[in-house]
Structure 1
Amino acid sequence: MIAQTQPILLSVNGVNKSFGGLQALHDVSLEIASGHIYGLIGPNGAGKTTFFNVITGLYEPDAGTFILDGKPYEPTAVHEVARTGIARTFQNIRLFGGMTALENVMVGRHVRTRQGLLGAVLRTPAERREEKEIVEHARALLDYVEIGQYAGYTARNLSYGHQRRLEIARALATEPKLLALDEPAAGMNATEKIGLRQLLEKIRNDGKTILLIEHDVKLVMGLCDRMTVLDYGKVIAAGLPQKVQKNPKVIEAYLGAGGS
Protein backbone atom coordinates (compact mmCIF):
# COMPACT_ATOMS: atom_id res chain seq x y z
CA MET A 1 0.00 0.00 0.00
CA ILE A 2 1.05 3.58 -0.68
CA ALA A 3 1.70 6.07 2.10
CA GLN A 4 -0.55 9.14 2.27
CA THR A 5 2.09 11.49 0.86
CA GLN A 6 0.63 11.99 -2.61
CA PRO A 7 -1.32 15.12 -3.59
CA ILE A 8 -5.09 14.97 -3.34
CA LEU A 9 -6.66 14.17 -6.71
CA LEU A 10 -10.34 14.37 -5.72
CA SER A 11 -11.78 16.27 -2.77
CA VAL A 12 -15.51 15.95 -2.09
CA ASN A 13 -17.12 18.04 0.64
CA GLY A 14 -20.62 18.05 2.10
CA VAL A 15 -22.46 16.09 -0.56
CA ASN A 16 -26.20 15.66 -0.03
CA LYS A 17 -28.65 13.83 -2.26
CA SER A 18 -32.32 13.10 -1.61
CA PHE A 19 -34.98 11.23 -3.54
CA GLY A 20 -38.31 12.53 -2.34
CA GLY A 21 -38.32 11.96 1.40
CA LEU A 22 -35.33 9.60 1.35
CA GLN A 23 -31.93 11.15 1.99
CA ALA A 24 -29.50 8.85 0.17
CA LEU A 25 -26.39 10.90 0.99
CA HIS A 26 -25.96 13.14 4.01
CA ASP A 27 -22.93 15.44 4.29
CA VAL A 28 -20.54 12.97 2.63
CA SER A 29 -16.93 14.13 2.39
CA LEU A 30 -13.75 12.33 1.37
CA GLU A 31 -10.32 12.92 -0.13
CA ILE A 32 -8.63 10.57 -2.59
CA ALA A 33 -4.87 10.84 -3.01
CA SER A 34 -3.32 10.50 -6.43
CA GLY A 35 -2.04 7.00 -7.16
CA HIS A 36 -4.18 5.34 -4.47
CA ILE A 37 -6.85 2.69 -4.56
CA TYR A 38 -9.62 4.17 -2.41
CA GLY A 39 -12.40 1.91 -1.18
CA LEU A 40 -16.00 2.91 -0.62
CA ILE A 41 -17.82 0.21 1.33
CA GLY A 42 -20.97 -0.31 3.37
CA PRO A 43 -24.07 -2.48 3.56
CA ASN A 44 -26.66 -2.62 0.79
CA GLY A 45 -28.53 0.67 0.55
CA ALA A 46 -25.75 2.64 2.22
CA GLY A 47 -25.50 5.14 -0.65
CA LYS A 48 -22.34 3.90 -2.38
CA THR A 49 -23.72 3.71 -5.90
CA THR A 50 -25.62 6.97 -5.38
CA PHE A 51 -22.29 8.61 -4.57
CA PHE A 52 -20.78 7.12 -7.74
CA ASN A 53 -23.73 8.40 -9.75
CA VAL A 54 -23.28 11.89 -8.31
CA ILE A 55 -19.56 12.22 -9.07
CA THR A 56 -19.99 10.75 -12.56
CA GLY A 57 -22.83 13.02 -13.62
CA LEU A 58 -25.79 10.63 -13.53
CA TYR A 59 -27.36 12.36 -10.51
CA GLU A 60 -27.26 16.05 -9.67
CA PRO A 61 -26.30 16.61 -6.01
CA ASP A 62 -28.50 18.73 -3.79
CA ALA A 63 -25.41 20.22 -2.15
CA GLY A 64 -21.67 19.73 -2.08
CA THR A 65 -18.41 20.91 -3.62
CA PHE A 66 -15.91 18.99 -5.72
CA ILE A 67 -12.24 19.65 -6.47
CA LEU A 68 -10.62 17.47 -9.15
CA ASP A 69 -6.88 17.75 -9.69
CA GLY A 70 -6.78 21.14 -8.00
CA LYS A 71 -9.69 22.67 -9.94
CA PRO A 72 -13.38 23.11 -9.08
CA TYR A 73 -15.38 20.36 -10.72
CA GLU A 74 -19.12 20.22 -11.37
CA PRO A 75 -20.48 16.79 -12.33
CA THR A 76 -22.66 17.36 -15.39
CA ALA A 77 -23.46 15.13 -18.36
CA VAL A 78 -21.71 11.75 -18.40
CA HIS A 79 -19.70 12.48 -21.55
CA GLU A 80 -18.49 15.79 -20.09
CA VAL A 81 -17.41 14.00 -16.91
CA ALA A 82 -15.36 11.56 -19.01
CA ARG A 83 -13.63 14.44 -20.76
CA THR A 84 -12.92 16.04 -17.39
CA GLY A 85 -11.11 12.92 -16.28
CA ILE A 86 -13.42 10.49 -14.45
CA ALA A 87 -14.34 7.14 -16.02
CA ARG A 88 -16.49 4.47 -14.43
CA THR A 89 -17.78 0.95 -14.78
CA PHE A 90 -21.15 -0.32 -13.53
CA GLN A 91 -22.21 -3.09 -11.19
CA ASN A 92 -24.12 -4.64 -14.10
CA ILE A 93 -21.90 -5.02 -17.14
CA ARG A 94 -22.71 -2.45 -19.81
CA LEU A 95 -20.87 -3.43 -22.96
CA PHE A 96 -21.98 -3.24 -26.58
CA GLY A 97 -22.67 -6.94 -26.84
CA GLY A 98 -22.79 -7.12 -30.64
CA MET A 99 -19.55 -5.21 -31.12
CA THR A 100 -16.08 -6.71 -30.86
CA ALA A 101 -13.85 -6.23 -27.85
CA LEU A 102 -11.67 -3.95 -29.98
CA GLU A 103 -14.64 -1.84 -31.05
CA ASN A 104 -15.84 -1.48 -27.45
CA VAL A 105 -12.50 -0.01 -26.41
CA MET A 106 -12.44 2.23 -29.47
CA VAL A 107 -15.78 3.69 -28.37
CA GLY A 108 -14.19 4.74 -25.10
CA ARG A 109 -11.24 6.25 -26.91
CA HIS A 110 -13.42 8.48 -29.06
CA VAL A 111 -13.93 10.76 -26.05
CA ARG A 112 -10.37 11.96 -26.75
CA THR A 113 -10.65 12.37 -30.53
CA ARG A 114 -9.62 15.63 -32.15
CA GLN A 115 -11.28 15.27 -35.55
CA GLY A 116 -14.94 16.20 -35.66
CA LEU A 117 -17.91 14.96 -37.61
CA LEU A 118 -16.83 16.73 -40.80
CA GLY A 119 -13.46 14.97 -40.75
CA ALA A 120 -15.17 11.61 -40.28
CA VAL A 121 -17.56 12.25 -43.18
CA LEU A 122 -14.84 13.48 -45.55
CA ARG A 123 -12.31 10.85 -44.41
CA THR A 124 -9.55 13.43 -44.33
CA PRO A 125 -5.91 12.30 -43.95
CA ALA A 126 -5.90 13.65 -40.40
CA GLU A 127 -9.03 11.66 -39.56
CA ARG A 128 -7.57 8.46 -41.03
CA ARG A 129 -4.36 8.92 -39.03
CA GLU A 130 -6.34 9.48 -35.86
CA GLU A 131 -8.49 6.41 -36.51
CA LYS A 132 -5.32 4.33 -36.92
CA GLU A 133 -4.03 5.69 -33.61
CA ILE A 134 -7.34 4.80 -31.93
CA VAL A 135 -7.13 1.22 -33.19
CA GLU A 136 -3.52 0.87 -32.04
CA HIS A 137 -4.31 2.33 -28.63
CA ALA A 138 -7.33 0.05 -28.20
CA ARG A 139 -5.24 -3.01 -29.05
CA ALA A 140 -2.58 -1.92 -26.56
CA LEU A 141 -5.20 -1.59 -23.81
CA LEU A 142 -6.62 -5.04 -24.54
CA ASP A 143 -3.09 -6.40 -24.19
CA TYR A 144 -2.68 -4.40 -20.98
CA VAL A 145 -5.72 -6.05 -19.38
CA GLU A 146 -4.54 -9.40 -20.79
CA ILE A 147 -7.35 -10.12 -23.24
CA GLY A 148 -5.62 -8.99 -26.43
CA GLN A 149 -6.15 -12.38 -28.05
CA TYR A 150 -9.91 -11.76 -27.93
CA ALA A 151 -9.85 -8.43 -29.81
CA GLY A 152 -12.02 -9.80 -32.61
CA TYR A 153 -14.53 -11.59 -30.38
CA THR A 154 -17.95 -10.04 -29.91
CA ALA A 155 -18.30 -8.81 -26.34
CA ARG A 156 -21.27 -11.04 -25.52
CA ASN A 157 -19.20 -14.13 -26.39
CA LEU A 158 -16.45 -13.36 -23.90
CA SER A 159 -16.35 -15.06 -20.53
CA TYR A 160 -17.73 -13.10 -17.59
CA GLY A 161 -14.29 -12.32 -16.19
CA HIS A 162 -13.05 -11.16 -19.59
CA GLN A 163 -16.08 -8.91 -19.98
CA ARG A 164 -15.16 -7.24 -16.69
CA ARG A 165 -11.62 -6.70 -17.97
CA LEU A 166 -13.01 -5.29 -21.21
CA GLU A 167 -15.05 -2.76 -19.27
CA ILE A 168 -11.91 -1.64 -17.47
CA ALA A 169 -10.02 -1.36 -20.76
CA ARG A 170 -12.80 0.75 -22.24
CA ALA A 171 -12.75 3.04 -19.20
CA LEU A 172 -8.97 3.37 -19.41
CA ALA A 173 -9.31 4.37 -23.06
CA THR A 174 -10.72 7.72 -21.94
CA GLU A 175 -7.38 8.45 -20.18
CA PRO A 176 -9.04 9.03 -16.80
CA LYS A 177 -7.46 10.76 -13.86
CA LEU A 178 -9.83 8.75 -11.67
CA LEU A 179 -11.06 5.25 -12.51
CA ALA A 180 -14.31 4.53 -10.61
CA LEU A 181 -15.17 0.83 -10.43
CA ASP A 182 -18.58 -0.30 -9.15
CA GLU A 183 -18.24 -3.85 -7.78
CA PRO A 184 -15.84 -5.18 -10.44
CA ALA A 185 -15.49 -8.53 -8.63
CA ALA A 186 -19.24 -9.19 -8.49
CA GLY A 187 -19.98 -12.62 -9.95
CA MET A 188 -16.34 -13.60 -10.28
CA ASN A 189 -14.95 -16.92 -9.09
CA ALA A 190 -11.91 -17.12 -6.80
CA THR A 191 -9.40 -17.38 -9.65
CA GLU A 192 -10.90 -14.42 -11.48
CA LYS A 193 -10.77 -12.34 -8.29
CA ILE A 194 -7.07 -13.03 -7.89
CA GLY A 195 -6.51 -11.91 -11.46
CA LEU A 196 -8.60 -8.79 -10.89
CA ARG A 197 -6.60 -7.86 -7.81
CA GLN A 198 -3.37 -8.22 -9.77
CA LEU A 199 -4.75 -6.05 -12.57
CA LEU A 200 -5.90 -3.29 -10.22
CA GLU A 201 -2.54 -3.31 -8.45
CA LYS A 202 -0.83 -2.97 -11.84
CA ILE A 203 -3.07 -0.03 -12.77
CA ARG A 204 -2.27 1.69 -9.47
CA ASN A 205 1.44 0.99 -9.78
CA ASP A 206 1.35 2.59 -13.22
CA GLY A 207 0.13 5.81 -11.61
CA LYS A 208 -3.64 5.64 -11.98
CA THR A 209 -6.04 6.46 -9.15
CA ILE A 210 -8.94 4.10 -8.46
CA LEU A 211 -12.16 4.58 -6.50
CA LEU A 212 -13.57 1.14 -5.72
CA ILE A 213 -16.97 -0.07 -4.52
CA GLU A 214 -16.72 -3.72 -3.60
CA HIS A 215 -18.56 -6.14 -1.30
CA ASP A 216 -15.72 -8.66 -1.10
CA VAL A 217 -14.27 -7.55 2.25
CA LYS A 218 -11.11 -9.63 1.91
CA LEU A 219 -10.38 -8.12 -1.49
CA VAL A 220 -11.02 -4.57 -0.34
CA MET A 221 -9.01 -4.82 2.87
CA GLY A 222 -6.04 -6.30 1.06
CA LEU A 223 -6.13 -3.95 -1.90
CA CYS A 224 -7.16 -0.46 -0.78
CA ASP A 225 -4.78 2.17 0.56
CA ARG A 226 -7.58 4.05 2.33
CA MET A 227 -11.33 3.78 2.53
CA THR A 228 -14.60 5.32 3.63
CA VAL A 229 -17.54 3.41 5.08
CA LEU A 230 -21.11 4.59 4.49
CA ASP A 231 -24.22 3.56 6.39
CA TYR A 232 -27.64 5.04 5.61
CA GLY A 233 -25.94 7.68 3.47
CA LYS A 234 -23.59 8.89 6.23
CA VAL A 235 -19.86 8.43 6.72
CA ILE A 236 -19.31 6.26 9.79
CA ALA A 237 -15.56 5.66 9.39
CA ALA A 238 -12.63 6.59 7.16
CA GLY A 239 -8.92 5.92 7.04
CA LEU A 240 -6.53 3.01 6.77
CA PRO A 241 -8.18 -0.39 6.15
CA GLN A 242 -6.70 -2.01 9.25
CA LYS A 243 -8.14 0.76 11.44
CA VAL A 244 -11.50 0.88 9.68
CA GLN A 245 -11.83 -2.88 10.06
CA LYS A 246 -11.63 -2.55 13.85
CA ASN A 247 -14.05 0.38 14.14
CA PRO A 248 -17.04 -0.70 16.30
CA LYS A 249 -19.52 1.17 14.10
CA VAL A 250 -18.21 -0.60 11.00
CA ILE A 251 -18.33 -3.98 12.70
CA GLU A 252 -21.91 -3.41 13.78
CA ALA A 253 -23.14 -2.02 10.46
CA TYR A 254 -21.23 -4.09 7.96
CA LEU A 255 -18.48 -6.48 8.87
CA GLY A 256 -20.22 -8.47 11.60
CA ALA A 257 -18.83 -9.66 14.91
CA GLY A 258 -15.07 -9.85 14.90
CA GLY A 259 -14.67 -7.58 11.89
CA SER A 260 -14.07 -10.43 9.46
Structure 2
Amino acid sequence: MTDTVLRVAGISKRFGGLQALSDVGITIERGQVYGLIGPNGAGKTTFFNVITGLYTPDSGTFELAGKPYVPTAVHEVAKAGIARTFQNIRLFAEMTALENVMVGRHIRTGSGLLGAIFRTPGFKNEEASIEKRSRELLEYVGISKYADYKARTLSYGDQRRLEIARALATDPQLIALDEPAAGMNATEKVLLRELIDQIRKDNRTILLIEHDVKLVMGLCDRVTVLDYGKQIAEGTPADVQKNEKVIEAYLGQNHEATGNTATATSGEEQ
Protein backbone atom coordinates (compact mmCIF):
# COMPACT_ATOMS: atom_id res chain seq x y z
CA MET A 1 0.00 0.00 0.00
CA THR A 2 1.38 3.37 -1.01
CA ASP A 3 2.15 5.98 1.65
CA THR A 4 0.55 8.67 -0.53
CA VAL A 5 -3.23 8.71 -0.12
CA LEU A 6 -4.15 11.64 -2.36
CA ARG A 7 -2.20 13.41 -5.07
CA VAL A 8 -3.86 16.04 -7.24
CA ALA A 9 -2.10 18.37 -9.64
CA GLY A 10 -2.91 21.18 -12.04
CA ILE A 11 -6.49 21.65 -10.82
CA SER A 12 -8.22 24.59 -12.50
CA LYS A 13 -11.87 25.62 -12.45
CA ARG A 14 -13.67 28.57 -13.99
CA PHE A 15 -17.22 29.78 -13.39
CA GLY A 16 -18.08 32.08 -16.28
CA GLY A 17 -15.67 35.00 -15.99
CA LEU A 18 -14.37 33.93 -12.57
CA GLN A 19 -11.20 31.85 -12.39
CA ALA A 20 -11.95 30.06 -9.11
CA LEU A 21 -8.88 27.78 -9.18
CA SER A 22 -5.61 28.11 -11.08
CA ASP A 23 -3.19 25.16 -11.24
CA VAL A 24 -3.66 23.97 -7.64
CA GLY A 25 -2.12 20.73 -6.38
CA ILE A 26 -1.58 18.92 -3.09
CA THR A 27 -0.10 15.62 -1.90
CA ILE A 28 -1.40 14.03 1.30
CA GLU A 29 0.48 11.19 2.97
CA ARG A 30 -1.17 8.40 4.94
CA GLY A 31 -1.88 9.31 8.56
CA GLN A 32 -1.62 13.07 8.01
CA VAL A 33 -4.03 15.80 8.94
CA TYR A 34 -3.70 18.19 5.99
CA GLY A 35 -5.11 21.70 6.31
CA LEU A 36 -6.51 23.93 3.59
CA ILE A 37 -6.92 27.59 4.57
CA GLY A 38 -7.34 31.01 3.02
CA PRO A 39 -9.54 34.10 3.19
CA ASN A 40 -13.16 34.04 2.05
CA GLY A 41 -13.31 33.69 -1.72
CA ALA A 42 -9.90 32.01 -1.90
CA GLY A 43 -11.23 28.88 -3.63
CA LYS A 44 -11.12 26.43 -0.71
CA THR A 45 -14.68 25.21 -1.08
CA THR A 46 -14.37 24.99 -4.86
CA PHE A 47 -11.22 22.88 -4.49
CA PHE A 48 -12.93 20.69 -1.92
CA ASN A 49 -15.95 20.23 -4.18
CA VAL A 50 -13.77 19.32 -7.15
CA ILE A 51 -11.93 16.65 -5.17
CA THR A 52 -15.17 15.15 -3.87
CA GLY A 53 -17.08 15.11 -7.15
CA LEU A 54 -19.52 18.01 -6.72
CA TYR A 55 -17.77 20.09 -9.40
CA THR A 56 -16.06 18.94 -12.57
CA PRO A 57 -12.63 20.57 -13.00
CA ASP A 58 -11.54 22.19 -16.26
CA SER A 59 -8.15 20.50 -15.93
CA GLY A 60 -6.10 18.44 -13.52
CA THR A 61 -5.03 14.92 -12.56
CA PHE A 62 -6.11 12.83 -9.58
CA GLU A 63 -4.58 9.82 -7.82
CA LEU A 64 -6.04 8.02 -4.83
CA ALA A 65 -3.74 5.51 -3.11
CA GLY A 66 -1.53 5.44 -6.19
CA LYS A 67 -4.33 4.81 -8.68
CA PRO A 68 -5.92 7.33 -11.05
CA TYR A 69 -9.49 8.28 -10.24
CA VAL A 70 -11.98 10.69 -11.76
CA PRO A 71 -14.21 12.58 -9.30
CA THR A 72 -17.35 12.54 -11.44
CA ALA A 73 -20.00 12.15 -8.71
CA VAL A 74 -20.12 12.19 -4.90
CA HIS A 75 -21.27 8.58 -4.55
CA GLU A 76 -18.57 7.35 -6.93
CA VAL A 77 -15.93 9.28 -5.01
CA ALA A 78 -17.21 7.72 -1.77
CA LYS A 79 -16.92 4.26 -3.29
CA ALA A 80 -13.38 5.10 -4.42
CA GLY A 81 -12.47 5.94 -0.83
CA ILE A 82 -13.09 9.63 -0.06
CA ALA A 83 -15.79 10.48 2.50
CA ARG A 84 -16.74 14.07 3.27
CA THR A 85 -18.74 16.19 5.66
CA PHE A 86 -20.28 19.54 4.80
CA GLN A 87 -20.04 23.05 6.26
CA ASN A 88 -23.82 22.99 6.63
CA ILE A 89 -24.70 19.76 8.43
CA ARG A 90 -26.44 17.25 6.15
CA LEU A 91 -27.95 14.52 8.29
CA PHE A 92 -31.21 12.63 7.89
CA ALA A 93 -32.97 14.62 10.58
CA GLU A 94 -35.84 12.20 11.20
CA MET A 95 -33.62 9.12 11.30
CA THR A 96 -31.89 8.01 14.47
CA ALA A 97 -28.19 8.52 14.97
CA LEU A 98 -27.69 4.79 14.45
CA GLU A 99 -29.67 4.80 11.21
CA ASN A 100 -27.63 7.72 9.89
CA VAL A 101 -24.39 5.81 10.39
CA MET A 102 -25.90 2.64 8.90
CA VAL A 103 -26.76 4.62 5.75
CA GLY A 104 -23.08 5.44 5.38
CA ARG A 105 -22.09 1.84 5.97
CA HIS A 106 -24.38 0.53 3.23
CA ILE A 107 -21.96 1.77 0.58
CA ARG A 108 -19.75 -1.21 1.48
CA THR A 109 -22.53 -3.84 1.37
CA GLY A 110 -23.11 -6.48 -1.27
CA SER A 111 -26.53 -8.09 -0.79
CA GLY A 112 -28.23 -5.89 -3.35
CA LEU A 113 -31.86 -5.08 -4.01
CA LEU A 114 -33.13 -8.67 -4.28
CA GLY A 115 -31.60 -9.57 -0.94
CA ALA A 116 -33.31 -6.61 0.67
CA ILE A 117 -36.69 -7.44 -0.92
CA PHE A 118 -36.67 -11.13 0.00
CA ARG A 119 -34.83 -10.72 3.32
CA THR A 120 -32.38 -13.48 2.49
CA PRO A 121 -30.15 -14.95 5.22
CA GLY A 122 -27.19 -13.20 3.63
CA PHE A 123 -28.99 -9.87 3.79
CA LYS A 124 -29.96 -10.37 7.45
CA ASN A 125 -26.40 -11.29 8.41
CA GLU A 126 -25.07 -8.27 6.57
CA GLU A 127 -27.57 -5.95 8.27
CA ALA A 128 -26.55 -7.30 11.68
CA SER A 129 -22.91 -6.66 10.81
CA ILE A 130 -23.72 -3.12 9.63
CA GLU A 131 -25.58 -2.34 12.85
CA LYS A 132 -22.74 -3.71 14.98
CA ARG A 133 -20.13 -1.64 13.17
CA SER A 134 -22.32 1.47 13.28
CA ARG A 135 -22.74 1.17 17.05
CA GLU A 136 -18.97 0.81 17.39
CA LEU A 137 -18.48 4.03 15.44
CA LEU A 138 -20.99 5.91 17.58
CA GLU A 139 -18.97 4.75 20.59
CA TYR A 140 -15.76 5.84 18.86
CA VAL A 141 -16.96 9.42 18.35
CA GLY A 142 -18.45 9.57 21.85
CA ILE A 143 -22.20 9.61 21.22
CA SER A 144 -23.25 5.96 21.60
CA LYS A 145 -25.80 6.88 24.27
CA TYR A 146 -27.73 8.78 21.60
CA ALA A 147 -27.91 5.86 19.16
CA ASP A 148 -31.72 5.75 19.24
CA TYR A 149 -32.26 9.52 19.28
CA LYS A 150 -33.40 11.27 16.13
CA ALA A 151 -30.53 13.22 14.59
CA ARG A 152 -32.40 16.53 14.87
CA THR A 153 -32.56 16.21 18.67
CA LEU A 154 -28.79 16.04 19.11
CA SER A 155 -26.78 19.09 20.09
CA TYR A 156 -24.88 20.92 17.37
CA GLY A 157 -21.54 19.47 18.45
CA ASP A 158 -22.95 15.94 18.61
CA GLN A 159 -24.44 16.33 15.13
CA ARG A 160 -20.96 17.17 13.88
CA ARG A 161 -19.66 14.01 15.57
CA LEU A 162 -22.46 12.01 13.97
CA GLU A 163 -21.44 13.29 10.53
CA ILE A 164 -17.89 12.13 11.18
CA ALA A 165 -19.12 8.71 12.34
CA ARG A 166 -21.16 8.38 9.14
CA ALA A 167 -18.09 9.32 7.07
CA LEU A 168 -15.98 6.75 8.92
CA ALA A 169 -18.63 4.12 8.22
CA THR A 170 -17.66 4.11 4.54
CA ASP A 171 -14.14 2.87 5.43
CA PRO A 172 -12.56 5.82 3.61
CA GLN A 173 -8.95 6.20 2.59
CA LEU A 174 -9.41 9.95 3.11
CA ILE A 175 -11.86 11.84 5.31
CA ALA A 176 -12.56 15.35 4.01
CA LEU A 177 -13.93 17.66 6.72
CA ASP A 178 -15.50 20.93 5.56
CA GLU A 179 -15.49 23.51 8.38
CA PRO A 180 -16.15 20.97 11.17
CA ALA A 181 -15.60 23.58 13.92
CA ALA A 182 -17.95 26.16 12.39
CA GLY A 183 -20.52 27.26 14.98
CA MET A 184 -18.93 25.32 17.82
CA ASN A 185 -18.27 26.78 21.25
CA ALA A 186 -14.86 26.52 22.91
CA THR A 187 -15.62 23.26 24.71
CA GLU A 188 -16.96 21.61 21.57
CA LYS A 189 -13.83 22.66 19.67
CA VAL A 190 -11.59 21.02 22.27
CA LEU A 191 -13.57 17.78 21.95
CA LEU A 192 -13.43 18.00 18.15
CA ARG A 193 -9.68 18.46 18.20
CA GLU A 194 -9.32 15.41 20.45
CA LEU A 195 -11.46 13.34 18.08
CA ILE A 196 -9.51 14.39 14.97
CA ASP A 197 -6.26 13.69 16.78
CA GLN A 198 -7.53 10.22 17.71
CA ILE A 199 -8.53 9.53 14.11
CA ARG A 200 -5.01 10.48 13.03
CA LYS A 201 -3.45 8.24 15.71
CA ASP A 202 -5.47 5.37 14.27
CA ASN A 203 -3.58 5.93 10.99
CA ARG A 204 -6.46 7.52 9.13
CA THR A 205 -5.94 10.47 6.82
CA ILE A 206 -7.81 13.77 6.98
CA LEU A 207 -8.16 16.79 4.69
CA LEU A 208 -9.42 19.73 6.74
CA ILE A 209 -10.90 23.04 5.58
CA GLU A 210 -11.22 25.33 8.56
CA HIS A 211 -11.44 29.06 9.27
CA ASP A 212 -10.14 28.64 12.83
CA VAL A 213 -6.45 29.21 12.11
CA LYS A 214 -5.41 28.35 15.66
CA LEU A 215 -7.08 24.95 15.35
CA VAL A 216 -5.44 24.29 11.98
CA MET A 217 -1.96 25.33 13.06
CA GLY A 218 -2.17 23.27 16.24
CA LEU A 219 -3.52 20.14 14.58
CA CYS A 220 -2.31 19.81 10.99
CA ASP A 221 0.91 18.21 9.78
CA ARG A 222 0.97 20.27 6.58
CA VAL A 223 -1.02 23.22 5.32
CA THR A 224 -1.82 24.71 1.92
CA VAL A 225 -2.94 28.34 1.66
CA LEU A 226 -5.09 29.58 -1.20
CA ASP A 227 -5.74 33.18 -2.21
CA TYR A 228 -7.87 34.18 -5.20
CA GLY A 229 -7.78 30.59 -6.43
CA LYS A 230 -3.98 30.36 -6.41
CA GLN A 231 -1.74 28.35 -4.12
CA ILE A 232 0.43 30.89 -2.32
CA ALA A 233 2.06 28.60 0.27
CA GLU A 234 2.46 24.96 1.27
CA GLY A 235 4.40 23.44 4.14
CA THR A 236 4.42 22.80 7.85
CA PRO A 237 2.32 25.09 10.05
CA ALA A 238 5.50 26.75 11.34
CA ASP A 239 6.70 27.49 7.82
CA VAL A 240 3.32 28.76 6.65
CA GLN A 241 2.96 31.13 9.61
CA LYS A 242 6.25 32.80 8.65
CA ASN A 243 5.40 33.13 4.95
CA GLU A 244 5.10 36.80 4.03
CA LYS A 245 2.47 36.17 1.37
CA VAL A 246 0.31 34.32 3.87
CA ILE A 247 0.71 37.01 6.50
CA GLU A 248 -0.30 39.67 4.01
CA ALA A 249 -3.23 37.76 2.50
CA TYR A 250 -4.69 36.03 5.52
CA LEU A 251 -3.07 36.11 8.92
CA GLY A 252 -2.84 39.91 9.08
CA GLN A 253 -0.07 42.45 9.13
CA ASN A 254 0.18 42.31 12.94
CA HIS A 255 0.73 38.57 12.99
CA GLU A 256 4.04 37.45 14.49
CA ALA A 257 5.85 34.26 13.54
CA THR A 258 5.96 33.26 17.19
CA GLY A 259 2.66 31.45 16.81
CA ASN A 260 0.31 34.32 17.61
CA THR A 261 -2.34 33.08 15.20
CA ALA A 262 -5.65 34.76 14.68
CA THR A 263 -9.03 33.18 14.13
CA ALA A 264 -10.55 34.15 10.81
CA THR A 265 -14.24 34.73 10.45
CA SER A 266 -16.40 32.10 8.85
CA GLY A 267 -18.50 32.61 5.76
CA GLU A 268 -19.60 31.22 2.45
CA GLU A 269 -17.13 31.30 -0.41
CA GLN A 270 -16.55 29.99 -3.87
Give the paired residue count. 255
Give the CA deviation at 1:76. Answer: 1.3
Matches within 5 A, 1:62-81: 62-81=58-77
Q: Report what 2:111 is aligned to.
A: 115
Q: 2:136 aligns with which of 137, 140, 151?
A: 140
After the TM superposition, list the runs of 4 or more consecutive aligned residues in structure 1 that deviate by more than 2 angstroms: none
Letter of the structure 2 residue corresponding to residue 221 of structure 1: M
One-letter identity of the residue aligned with 2:116: A
State the one-letter code of the partner of 1:220: V
Alignment-derived partner of residue 189 in structure 1: 185
Equivalence for 1:56: 52
Aligned pairs (5 A) from 1:1-260: 7-257=3-253, 258-259=255-256, 260=261
Where structure 1 has 5 or more consecutive residues not aligned to the other structure, the ranges are 1-5
Structure 1 position 7, deviation (Å): 2.0
Deviation at 1:45, TM superposition (A): 0.8
SS in 1 for 2:242: coil
TM-score between the two structures when normalised by the length of structure 2:
0.93
- Letter aligned with residue 150 of structure 1: Y
Q: Percent of pairs identical after alignment?
A: 71
> How many Å apart are 1:73 and its aligned residue?
1.1
Unaligned runs of 5+ in 2: 262-270
CA shift at 1:180, angstroms? 0.1
Q: 1:250 aligns to what SS in structure 2?
A: helix
Q: Deviations over 1:153-173 (max 9, x none)?
A: 000000000000000000000
Q: What letter matches 2:113 in structure 1?
A: L
CA distance in 1, matches of 2:230, 2:237: 18
Q: C-alpha displacement at 1:55, in angstroms?
A: 0.7
Q: Which amino acid aligns with 2:233?
A: A
Root mean square deviation of aligned Cα: 0.8
Q: Distance in 2 between matches of 1:86 and 1:115?
A: 22
Q: Give the counterpart letter for 1:51 in structure 2.
A: F
DSSP 3-state at the match of 1:245:
helix
Shift of 1:8: 1.5
Aligned residue for 2:265? none
SS of alignment partner, residue 47 of structure 2:
helix
